[in-house]
Structure 1
């Protein structure tokens, strides 16, 4: 590795911040923001500086290990891979293909190699018992995109750099840097919004970091966002504020939305939501009357009992007020590698409810069952019971509901393997751990988050460090396992052509595939003068072939498509390697209705599954407003996933794993500053320090996500020293949104009291 400055993209969250890493004699001297990065323009958050800690972490596993009676024992790679493949194959042969389960954590979507290799790996596993972080996170957004726009990852992104009103419901981009909205330097962008006369409005059960810089803030009771938004829809129709703009030509079923909203007057929902009726009306008026405006919702609205409805209604509100596909509203990106269009060409636009889980009968989405039923499928005997399990870059014991039950489930498996470089709360149950290289030891391109960015950019970063001969990238691990499994499934030997294909795939790796996608995408090859000869053929293909024909899809995606003729051209890995700061591909731009993938190329404003689920919302409205104490999670800018807690610079300082509670509820529970509280539910109980503040709505308490490093047998010394408590130990896995199957992580009822040890100390 050469001395000097190396430019990369930080891969620790969705923001894709550009970083400049100063290296001297093989050691990182500093990590700073890259001022020439076209998206982040020099901004970084504290997580980026911890990349060095994660790379140098002495707790990080670097060779395969297996569990023995005397502890963990290192193995060589071929021995480990052979053992894992044989064990998985044996379980599948004895108990059927669905006796193996698989869970993929969210770090996989920050890793183009893992994404590319993941598909053949899952195919070789052959199981329908697949799970991921999706159902604990963004599933309602994916379902709404599939139902309304025809593709599960076609998300409307706020055009925040040109909007004049940004309404943020159940999201905290000051801490997250955006989610399904890659937006580095949110604070700076809001300063610019205000400087041009714009306004930020935040609605949340907690006065978050984002709320504290807002021009207008409203508390809302957890789980009632769908009531609020339906009352806003009601106001739009009642006050004749509906105006779809140019979207009216390609949007259907507006009248069905009007009829659906009739029973949700602002006065009717006020007690449940905690917002005054006039405040609800004013929110609708502001959205309608501000030409450049965007309404954005995220985790707080997604992961609740009405997450599916709330997410759909956020889209509906933007559409009814003419904000879809308009400058300053919500728009679709045009990334250099268009995974939306590529998936559609292969017939992979998404699907929902094709089959249902064995125990709880929950619907699959995109081939995955909800994570809240993982433990059921492992612990419930019968045909199809999961007896072996694979985790890849995930820690569901801390990230999924009822972590204690997952502990029990994983500990009772016949075999478990984890692709992970930490011995954590989940991988401690594995029989074999296969550690991949760390982020700085592999090349990087943001396949996924480029599709969600507030500006179109592209950036490729080669590996900063040589991984070494005795290391394996995660894509290599998955391909090696897939190859072995396919051979075992075929009786020990593959046909020569198939064997040659596997060897070639493993030899070239993901980067040549990435290069091909760049070259064949909208910003790809530029044939210059030859365009005049080729263009008529492309136009003919677009005109004569059916809308859903795969060849037409490839032609549409091609850089030769006339639609892309004004975009920059010539992108490839070689070209991007010569532009280490990345390349700016321009602001978001209108692209409808050509971007739609619905059969009739219209926005389906009122999918029938959402209309049917409104019965539940009416039932909620008919009941008295709850008096229960409701639990919500929270995010901190220094923390994204549980594995970041093993960086000293990320966990140092004031304790962050605390119970946030209002003065009113603290007094009712007998809590004082300095106390520890016992927070309990029917699922379990945890103990953590108390933080009493007016920044949270009375009737609501908050515990952060990702902590709970006090379990035995983990190998993360820094995390153990800052253990905290896991919110998922008190969240029931029985509570899911029946519409989407999403885990209810926000809005479950809890009890709070002074921890008994504190009581005894005070008496003494």
Structure 2
């Protein structure tokens, strides 16, 4: 039996793992205690990934082709590539490159070769219709970087801070962490405890008393959708007391006075009354932040998927800039970078409004590209508008758009309208796979070698790791790298490998490695090229199964001259958005329905992944509606009782779970559950919250973000329990 080392790639935490392998079979897997980043931590999803390799969730080990009658049959993987290439060539010849789209998701982000090959193919063909899961949940961060600008030196690690604010973020479940928040997303319980030992003060803002709330010195529990108003009130208090860093503002920002004037109506008392919190909490939080030596801030999907998300994110980042929440001259850089070095000089990447330039979305030219991508929510319209530039072929990798997008009747119509839908999915029963013309059985994470090119910037010190291939993949599976190389060869396209940082537009990056299109290079040779310009050689990486740490001590310094770049604290469109938030606080557009439904993460699944795992089903059974006991008493609803959840745009069924951590009047469910392609009259597969979401109403400007959290709903009893519903389904069967 051989011991091998790798890391989990379900999310960006990349927790180290140790495997016992015999006869090309994973015998056991556990956390790697010698991995200096994860320190022996791995969450349950790492184990579930191993289960998937062993055949759980009906893991697909051969490619499928849909027949005329809708049934699926195995197809040789190379025959599948041949047929797909021929069909795609015909589509491109008839309609041009705008006819091709790609939609990639979280589980493909870490593929250091496959995802760059797909992006290279799209770029070389001149096909702009790229979509991803980033614009499903947290694209307001991209909008903010594009409107405000971006401080290149980054934010402090928690060890450099004395106050931390977390808003709409539950990193103890999501593993979202540094540098978007001061706390690393790896072994996160340890870092929270260490932060408290250091005396760091926490401010947590969330409609639910999350797992992070017990660490809070100030816990603010507002109604969903009031984040922007709360940040405006915090800014007003900071301005009122003169806590802003005026020297930084004068040197590095513009439109400070416009921001000050825009937030003036947001008194703590007025906002607190509307949001259902105490004014004294807002005032105390502003004082902690405004008087901190080095504050740190972080936001998550709770804020980014709710109403006024772009405005809330912008106000939070503007506040962070003004209260000294950035790494400045004299501060040490926690992770200066090994593969991609960080700036050592105070530097601003100025605002860049890419959506105002070509190419624009064909279905609605008000929208364009953001970090090289079109907004995900506009994908159905890009198919269905019927014009010359309609998307007619789509590659889906590491994603499940049938479930991740809202308004399923429109999303399904778009997926069914496609002339060619090719999905990479190990789960043949996924909703998107069930609609595809071809389902490519992908090699899985532990069946390929990897290097942390994508996640290097997320580590809290200089670290890079190579993951060896743990087991050989089944012979009829295919990696995205091999597939897109073969496809490009058949189409006569020259691929170019680039190290693509998260959020980077491949067309804007420097030239990369021209790929041999006669004989496919080995994956390890391509990984060797990706690290070739770094101080760590590929040979050293292979000799270091727990990863390589470099001691790189760098301190930020002031620039020698002023380049003229500034952070725009309050451009004109943000002024207009803040005015809309003001009107909302005053009562305009407030929902008339009784409850607000928020999105909720659970540790056993990641978006739509692992919902079919036996452990997830045993622990949850279905997608529960979490409700405060007082609300249950008011509606005379008991635990496990079925309810109808109705929004302005649809209705679903849920089964109630008492949850005293919820704010009364607020309920929560996990997203990406349920089914949109099969009958489920009693909602036993789990209510699909996307059915409550419109892709056309209540959407944000620029990123077209729908309101996917804080959805106004009414709730009514069904008159049967979960157990009775299961018994009825069995009897009907």
- Tell me which interval the TM-score lies in, with the shorter structure as reference length: 0.7 to 0.9
Decide whether aligned partners of structure 1 residues 183 and 247 sit closer, same or farther in structure 2, where only a CA change above 3 A counts. farther
The aligned runs of 1:7-26 (5 Å cut-off) are 7-26=5-24
Decide whether aligned partners of structure 1 residues 114 and 17 sit closer, same or farther in structure 2, where only a CA change above 3 A counts. same
Residue of structure 1 in register with 2:232 after alignment: 230
**RMSD, aligned α-carbons:** 3.5
Contact kept in structure 1, 2:625 and 2:669, CA below 8 Å: yes
Contact kept in structure 2, 1:101 and 1:390, CA below 8 Å: yes
Residue of structure 2 in register with 1:725 after alignment: 687
Residue of structure 2 in register with 1:572 after alignment: 537
Decide whether aligned partners of structure 1 residues 435 and 338 sit closer, same or farther in structure 2, where only a CA change above 3 A counts. same
Residue of structure 2 in register with 1:507 after alignment: 520
Greater alpha carbon shift after TM alignment, 215-224 vs 624-633: 624-633
Contact kept in structure 2, 1:327 and 1:589, CA below 8 Å: no
1:752 to 701, 712, 715: 715
Contact kept in structure 2, 1:292 and 1:327, CA below 8 Å: no
Residue of structure 2 in register with 1:201 after alignment: 203
Contact kept in structure 2, 1:157 and 1:330, CA below 8 Å: no
Q: Does 1:619 align with 2:583?
A: yes
Residue of structure 2 in register with 1:320 after alignment: 322
Greater alpha carbon shift after TM alignment, 249-258 vs 582-591: 582-591
Give a deviation string over 1:405-435, Cα, whole Å, max 9, x none: 3123212322221122222101111111122
Decide whether aligned partners of structure 1 residues 258 and 682 sit closer, same or farther in structure 2, where only a CA change above 3 A counts. closer
Give a deviation string over 1:335-358, Cα, whole Å, max 9, x none: 2222888xx9xx998833324323
The aligned runs of 1:135-284 (5 Å cut-off) are 135-150=135-150, 156-179=154-177, 180-181=180-181, 182-243=184-245, 249-284=251-286
CA distance in 1, matches of 2:524, 2:563: 34
Contact kept in structure 2, 1:660 and 1:693, CA below 8 Å: yes
CA distance in 2, matches of 1:475, 1:53: 23
Decide whether aligned partners of structure 1 residues 756 and 481 sit closer, same or farther in structure 2, where only a CA change above 3 A counts. farther
In structure 2, stretches of 5+ residues that fail to align are 496-512, 729-733
Contact kept in structure 2, 1:160 and 1:328, CA below 8 Å: no
The aligned runs of 1:559-638 (5 Å cut-off) are 571-585=536-550, 590-591=555-556, 600-623=564-587, 626=591, 628=593, 629-638=595-604
Deviation at 1:689, TM superposition (A): 0.8
Q: Does 1:519 align with 2:532?
A: yes
In structure 1, stretches of 5+ residues that fail to align are 490-499, 525-570, 715-719
3-state SS of 2:532 partner: helix
The aligned runs of 1:455-534 (5 Å cut-off) are 455-467=461-473, 470-486=476-492, 503-504=516-517, 507-509=520-522, 511-521=524-534, 524=535
Deviation at 1:676, TM superposition (A): 0.8
Q: Does 1:422 align with 2:427?
A: yes
Q: Does 1:379 align with 2:384?
A: yes
Residue of structure 2 in register with 1:492 after alignment: none
Contact kept in structure 2, 1:159 and 1:588, CA below 8 Å: no
3-state SS of 2:319 partner: helix
Residue of structure 1 in register with 2:499 after alignment: none
Deviation at 1:67, TM superposition (A): 0.8
Residue of structure 2 in register with 1:363 after alignment: 368
TM-score, with normalisation over the residues of structure 1? 0.83
Q: Does 1:405 align with 2:410?
A: yes
Decide whether aligned partners of structure 1 residues 432 and 517 sit closer, same or farther in structure 2, where only a CA change above 3 A counts. closer
CA distance in 1, matches of 2:249, 2:615: 48
Decide whether aligned partners of structure 1 residues 502 and 513 sit closer, same or farther in structure 2, where only a CA change above 3 A counts. closer
Contact kept in structure 1, 2:408 and 2:676, CA below 8 Å: no
3-state SS of 1:50 partner: helix
Residue of structure 1 in register with 2:41 after alignment: 43
The aligned runs of 1:593-742 (5 Å cut-off) are 600-623=564-587, 626=591, 628=593, 629-655=595-621, 657-709=623-675, 711-712=677-678, 723-734=685-696, 735-742=698-705
Give a deviation string over 1:235-266, Cα, whole Å, max 9, x none: 01101111267686444443333233222221
The aligned runs of 1:109-120 (5 Å cut-off) are 109-120=109-120
CA distance in 1, matches of 2:288, 2:363: 46
Greater alpha carbon shift after TM alignment, 399-408 vs 650-659: 650-659
Greater alpha carbon shift after TM alignment, 508-517 vs 171-180: 508-517
CA distance in 2, matches of 1:21, 1:311: 41
Contact kept in structure 2, 1:686 and 1:729, CA below 8 Å: yes
Deviation at 1:683, TM superposition (A): 2.5
CA distance in 2, matches of 1:330, 1:304: 35
Deviation at 1:101, TM superposition (A): 2.8
Decide whether aligned partners of structure 1 residues 461 and 722 sit closer, same or farther in structure 2, where only a CA change above 3 A counts. farther
Contact kept in structure 2, 1:244 and 1:323, CA below 8 Å: no
Contact kept in structure 2, 1:419 and 1:435, CA below 8 Å: yes
3-state SS of 1:338 partner: coil
Decide whether aligned partners of structure 1 residues 330 and 165 sit closer, same or farther in structure 2, where only a CA change above 3 A counts. farther
Deviation at 1:217, TM superposition (A): 1.6
3-state SS of 1:14 partner: coil
Give a deviation string over 1:287-346, Cα, whole Å, max 9, x none: 1222132121111111223111111222222221112105999978432222888xx9xx
Contact kept in structure 2, 1:456 and 1:585, CA below 8 Å: yes
CA distance in 1, matches of 2:34, 2:246: 38
Contact kept in structure 2, 1:7 and 1:580, CA below 8 Å: yes
Q: Does 1:308 align with 2:321?
A: no
Residue of structure 2 in register with 1:553 after alignment: none
3-state SS of 2:610 partner: helix
Contact kept in structure 2, 1:18 and 1:37, CA below 8 Å: yes
CA distance in 1, matches of 2:648, 2:558: 49
Contact kept in structure 1, 2:294 and 2:324, CA below 8 Å: no
CA distance in 2, matches of 1:627, 1:611: 27
Decide whether aligned partners of structure 1 residues 330 and 395 sit closer, same or farther in structure 2, where only a CA change above 3 A counts. farther
Contact kept in structure 2, 1:9 and 1:17, CA below 8 Å: yes
CA distance in 1, matches of 2:245, 2:256: 11
Greater alpha carbon shift after TM alignment, 657-666 vs 356-365: 356-365
CA distance in 2, matches of 1:760, 1:706: 23
Q: Does 1:63 align with 2:62?
A: yes
Decide whether aligned partners of structure 1 residues 580 and 740 sit closer, same or farther in structure 2, where only a CA change above 3 A counts. same
Greater alpha carbon shift after TM alignment, 599-608 vs 472-481: 599-608
Deviation at 1:76, TM superposition (A): 1.9
CA distance in 1, matches of 2:692, 2:78: 41
CA distance in 1, matches of 2:332, 2:618: 38
Q: Does 1:434 align with 2:447?
A: no
Deviation at 1:460, TM superposition (A): 0.9
Decide whether aligned partners of structure 1 residues 670 and 412 sit closer, same or farther in structure 2, where only a CA change above 3 A counts. farther
CA distance in 1, matches of 2:190, 2:560: 30
Decide whether aligned partners of structure 1 residues 482 and 759 sit closer, same or farther in structure 2, where only a CA change above 3 A counts. closer
CA distance in 1, matches of 2:525, 2:643: 54
CA distance in 2, matches of 1:383, 1:484: 25
Give a deviation string over 1:139-172, Cα, whole Å, max 9, x none: 1112222333459xx6945512443322111000
Greater alpha carbon shift after TM alignment, 53-62 vs 121-130: 121-130
3-state SS of 1:8 partner: strand
3-state SS of 2:611 partner: helix
